[in-house]
Amino acid sequence: MTLAHLIRTFVRRHAAAYAAAGVMLLAIALLTVWMPRQIGHLVDALVARELAGPALWRELALLIGAGVLIYLLRVGWRIRLYAAAYQMGVELRRRLYARLAEQGPRFYQTRRTGDLMALATNDVDAVEMAAGEAMLAGFDGTLTLLLVVATMALGVDWRLAAIALLPFPLMAWSFAWISHHVHDRSRDALERFGDLNDHVQETLTGVRTLRTLGLEARSSRRFAELAGAAARASYESQRWEARYEPAVGMTLVTAIVLSLGLGGWLVWYGELTIGQLTSFGLYLTQLIWPMFAAGWVLALWERGRAAWTRLSAVLDEPLAIDDDGTVATVHPGEIVLRDVHFCYPGNTSAALSGLSLHIEPGSTLGLVGPTGSGKSTLIKLLLRQWMPQSGGISWGGVALADHTLEALRAGIAWVPQEPILFSASVAENIALARPSATRAEIEAVAELAAVHEDIARLPQGYDTPVGERGVTLSGGQRQRVAIARALLADAPLLLLDDALSAVDTETEHRILAHLHDQRQGRTVIVVSHRLSALADADQIAVLRHGHLAERGTHEELLAKGVAHGWYAQQWRIQQLEASIEQD
């Protein structure tokens, strides 16, 4: 869809607002051409000494009245039009937001957050300006131009009008040339602003790390560079936009010189009255606005087009994960992975290859293996954040891809290693998936997640605000709040991706024991580096280099012996470490 197409569909939907603004503009244009004509008559009547006393005052009052009416109409169309144009901004932002919320990790892997934020602010503004200001100024300018030229030609003298219009084609040509450059420069300016935004976003997110590493000076320098580049790009774009004005000025001066020459000659030979030449001069000055409008409209349009190209690239980017499944509820049953192969885009080696695994419904699976062995990747495939390149994953006999994404989101509770707490109270953060949960239910899951006491000690208990604008919880507390949140969601599949890494061993044990007791048919998959935490799991799977290396119960895996199994080896190491710590 091009910008023109977008605006056409929008104008069609808001036809009433645009039509009302158009009618008001037409009235303004008619009044505007009427005024010089009236002034011309007045001048002729005054020169002929035909107008005096009350009649003169009446004529003047009429002119003033017309001026006031023009003013009111101008205010009116702006109010009508801007209400519609803002609506377009809202619609675009909503579309962009919905798209961003739908997109999967593949999209975010290649896009920068700051730039996406720039799209939602700067770029949407530019498109909004093109749909509002530019559309109406274009309409207004064209209307005034046509009316003024027609009145000049028909109402005054067509020869004079033809001469005055001679320099206009040259202006059109220079406008086309300037527009081309304005487009390129605007795109550049929008991109630079995106870079700048991105840097600010990154700095604010990592401000603690930056400070700890003493990198503020370097970051500031980089910021200054980016801010300079963004300012230069905007300046370049403005420099080109500024060239519209001299083009208008030159055209106008040439038109005035030409028409005064011919006009003077015509007056001399009695073919034109002085009043008519006065009107003509006034008409010429009325062409200033349409010409400036043309330059301005072109600048806004080109800026809007550059912004729309950037926006539509994001809006039209296909979803990383197709949501074309039809099964709208999950059927909790056996989870089967069959010969799953998955490689991240841009990577040369596979994160998972030939992985086959059966997970009994209602069982707890411990997932272990060295860092980078593919544990998180497996969790992400189960969440359908990514799709395997070959092989299949099914749940309760239905392929994962045949479910709607909504069904999967509702059927799976997931706790990542670094959960996000939003700016809300602790209770609201826990009740994210079920805002209707009672305080008693919230406290019950907090007990299970062994975080109730921590919360009770906060200044306002469960009502304490947390997240960006609230109390900062420790890593372990955040993890436990996230586990409580997942438990409250009460989904048939619970995925804990190293979700207790910041919690001490004893608490981790306690939480997992609670999960075990309260699972009520729920399947649980726990990724953990601490093998002792998983000793009670029904099954333990060991991943290495994306393969299933070992599988069995804790006892079975230990029985393989240190010489033959990663699990037994790792168990021995961790036991030794624990005993050294105790000493």
* Contacts to ligand ADP by CB under 6 A: 109, 344, 347, 351, 369, 371-377
Measure Cα distances from 74 to 21, 29, 108, 554, 583 in Å: 9, 11, 45, 80, 85
**What is the nearest approach in angstroms of ligand ADP to the Cβ of residue 344?**
3
What gap in Å lies between CA 268 and CA 189, rounded to an integer?
Answer: 55
371 or 436: CB nearest ligand ADP: 371
**What is the nearest approach in angstroms of ligand ADP to the Cβ of residue 103?**
14
**What is the nearest approach in angstroms of ligand ADP to the Cβ of residue 73?**
58
**What is the nearest approach in angstroms of ligand ADP to the Cβ of residue 348?**
10
CA atoms within 13 A on the CB side of 307: 25
**What is the nearest approach in angstroms of ligand ADP to the Cβ of residue 304?**
35
What gap in Å lies between CA 234 and CA 335, rounded to an integer?
Answer: 55
- Is residue 526 within 8 Å of residue 359, measured between CB atoms? no
428 or 498: CB nearest ligand ADP: 498
Q: Write the CB contacts of 80 (distance below 8 Å, at least 6 apart in sequence).
A: 17, 20, 21, 24
**What is the nearest approach in angstroms of ligand ADP to the Cβ of residue 563?**
24
- Is residue 192 within 8 Å of residue 123, measured between CB atoms? no
User: Tokens 């000690």 label which residue?
Assistant: 457
Measure Cα distances from 442 to 120, 162, 446, 485 in Å: 36, 81, 6, 8
What gap in Å lies between CA 132 and CA 122, rounded to an integer?
Answer: 15
**What is the nearest approach in angstroms of ligand ADP to the Cβ of residue 351?**
4
Q: Dihedral of CA 169/170/175/176: which sign?
A: positive
What gap in Å lies between CA 367 and CA 542, rounded to an integer?
Answer: 6
What gap in Å lies between CA 342 and CA 381, rounded to an integer?
Answer: 9
Which string of DSSP letters, residue by residue, matches 54-117?
HHHHHHHHHHHHHHHHHHHHHHHHHHHHHHHHHHHHHHHHHHHHHHHHH--HHHHHHS-HHHHH
Q: Give me 401's structure tokens.
A: 């891809």
**What is the nearest approach in angstroms of ligand ADP to the Cβ of residue 475?**
18
Which ranges constitute the DSSP H helices of 151-243?
A: 158-165, 168-205, 207-212, 216-242
380 or 452: CB nearest ligand ADP: 380
67 or 372: CB nearest ligand ADP: 372
**What is the nearest approach in angstroms of ligand ADP to the Cβ of residue 360?**
23
**What is the nearest approach in angstroms of ligand ADP to the Cβ of residue 375?**
4
106 or 187: CB nearest ligand ADP: 106
347 or 436: CB nearest ligand ADP: 347
169 or 372: CB nearest ligand ADP: 372
326 or 348: CB nearest ligand ADP: 348
What gap in Å lies between CA 197 and CA 547, rounded to an integer?
Answer: 41
What gap in Å lies between CA 255 and CA 26, rounded to an integer?
Answer: 25
371 or 579: CB nearest ligand ADP: 371
| Count of other CB atoms within 10 angstroms of residue 312 | 15
299 or 351: CB nearest ligand ADP: 351
Angle at CA of residue 451, ends 448 and 455, nearest 5°: 135
Q: Write the CB contacts of 235 (distance below 8 Å, at least 6 apart in sequence).
A: none
455 or 495: CB nearest ligand ADP: 495
**What is the nearest approach in angstroms of ligand ADP to the Cβ of residue 420?**
17
> Which one-letter amino acid corresponds to residue 498?
D
**What is the nearest approach in angstroms of ligand ADP to the Cβ of residue 13?**
40
279 or 528: CB nearest ligand ADP: 528
